Chain A
Amino acid sequence: EVQLVESGGGLVQPWGSLRLSCEASGFTFSSYNWNWVRQAPGKGLEWVSYISVGSRTIDYADSVKGRFTISRDNAKNSVFLQMNSLRDEDTAVYFCAREVTYTRAFDIWGQGTMVTVSS
């Protein structure tokens, strides 16, 4: 069964850090590009970050550039999002999403993990 399981969300104070994990199973993790997408309460979907198959290409939304770092570990079938210097506006549900290279669409999504930044 194809599955993505996210973890690492929670309540953190402003300027704090969290590391989100997304573990995949049921397919060849290393063959896909990966993205993180978030949705703040009452808002729409916002793309956060991307990492390519061989980690050669990495990109970030301007809103998180310099604060968030995406990485992957093919041996652990996992993609990560290290989030530092968190702000109130980073409060959201964070999803990992698999991207098929030739379609550039996100065909499989995790269930989401909630990140709340509050003092």
Chain B
Amino acid sequence: DIQITQSPPSVSASVGDSVTITCRASQLISSWLAWYQRKPGKAPKLLIYAASSLQSGVPSRFSGSGSGTDFTLTITNLQSEDFATYYCQQSNSFPITFGQGTRLEIK
């Protein structure tokens, strides 16, 4: 199975800041990595697919990069609605696996 190590587990930031979240896969996964935002009581929301493609309707302050085993999600100019938990997910091979999540908190 492909293990995904996501870091940091949590991060504190202020409105207007930038943050970067990383995911490392235990094997090569090409660009089969997606990023999701999860808020309490709401369904997960797809932000980025294929490592760096912005899902339709997602603000451009969200961006993704990487390929192979190392990937990053960057959020610039943080807005209040961005404070949530973020997950990466690999879909290169079954079983599909998610990172452990990163909780983005308001400083």
Contact = CB atoms under 8 A, between A and B. Distances in A.
Report which residue of A44, A104, A107, A111 has the largest number of chain B beta carbons within 10 angstroms of its beta carbon. Answer: A104
Interface string A81-95: 000000000000001
Interface of A: 35, 37, 39, 44-47, 50, 59-62, 95, 97, 99-100, 103-107, 109-112
A102 to B, nearest CB: 9
B96 A47 contact: yes
Given A62-B95, A103-B53, A104-B49, 5 more contacts: A50-B94, A97-B44, A109-B43, A111-B43, A112-B43
Classify chain B's interface size: 20 to 34
Interface stretch (B13-21, B30-38, B67-75): B30-38
B28 to A, nearest CB: 15
A104 B101 contact: no
Nearest to B97: A47
A99 to B, nearest CB: 8
Interface of B: 32, 34, 36, 38, 43-46, 49-50, 53, 55, 87, 89, 91, 94-101
A105 B45 CA distance: 11
A109 B44 contact: yes
A73 to B, nearest CB: 22
A44 B38 CA distance: 10
Given A35-B96, A45-B98, A107-B55, A95 B49 contact: no
